[in-house]
Amino acid sequence: MAILVDSGTRLLVQGITGREGAFHTGRMLESGTNVVAGVTPGKGGQNHDGIPVFDTVAGAVAETGANASVIFVPPPFAADAVFESLDSGMGTICCITEGIPVHDMMRVADFIGTKEATLIGPNCPGVLSPGKSNVSIMPRDIFTPGNVGVVSRSGTLTYQIVNELTQRGIGQSTAVGIGGDPIIGTNFIEILGKFEEDPETECVVMIGEIGGNAEQLAAAYVQNEMKTPVVAYIAGFTAPEGKTMGHAGAIVSGGESTAEAKSEALRGAGIRAATNPSEVAELVAEALGR
Please report the pLDDT score of residue 242 as a whole number: 52
Tell me which H or E stretch contains 232. strand 230-235
* 43-67 per-position pLDDT tens digit: 999 999 999 999 999 999 999 999 9
Instruction: Choose among 138, 219, 217, 152: nearest CA to 180.
Output: 152
Rounded Cα–Cα distance for residues 187 and 195 (Å): 13
SS3 229: coil
Give the pLDDT confidence score for residue 249 in this predicted structure: 47
- Which domains can be identified in the chain, with CATH numbers? 1-123 (3.40.50.720), 138-290 (3.40.50.261)
Q: For helices 75-87 and 57-64, what crossing angle results, to 10°?
A: 40
Q: What pLDDT score does 245 carry?
A: 47
Q: How far is CA 142 from its chain centroid?
A: 16
Rg (CA), the chain: 18
Under 8 Å CB-to-CB from 12, ≥6 apart: which residues?
35, 36, 37, 38, 39, 57, 60, 61, 64, 66, 68, 69, 70, 85, 90
Clarify whether 48 is annotated catalytic: no
- Please give the pLDDT value at position 238: 47
Sign of CA dihedral 74, 79, 85, 91: positive
Three state DSSP letters for 59-89: HHHHHHCCCEEEECCCHHHHHHHHHHHHHCC
Single out the catalytic residue among 24, 48, 103, 247: 247
How confident is the prediction for the chain on average, in pLDDT? 92
Helix-, strand-, coil-residue percentages of the chain, each rounded to 5: 35, 25, 40
Tell me, what's the pLDDT at 239? Answer: 47
Confidence (pLDDT) at 250: 43
Determine the Cα angle at 155 with ends 228 and 2, to 5°. 40
Tell me which residues of the chain have a pLDDT lower than 50: 238-239, 243-245, 247-254
* pLDDT at residue 241, rounded to an integer: 55
Are 251 and 245 a contacting pair, CB within 8 Å? yes
Distance separating alpha carbons of residues 116 and 72, to the nearest angstrom: 22
Identity of residue 117: A
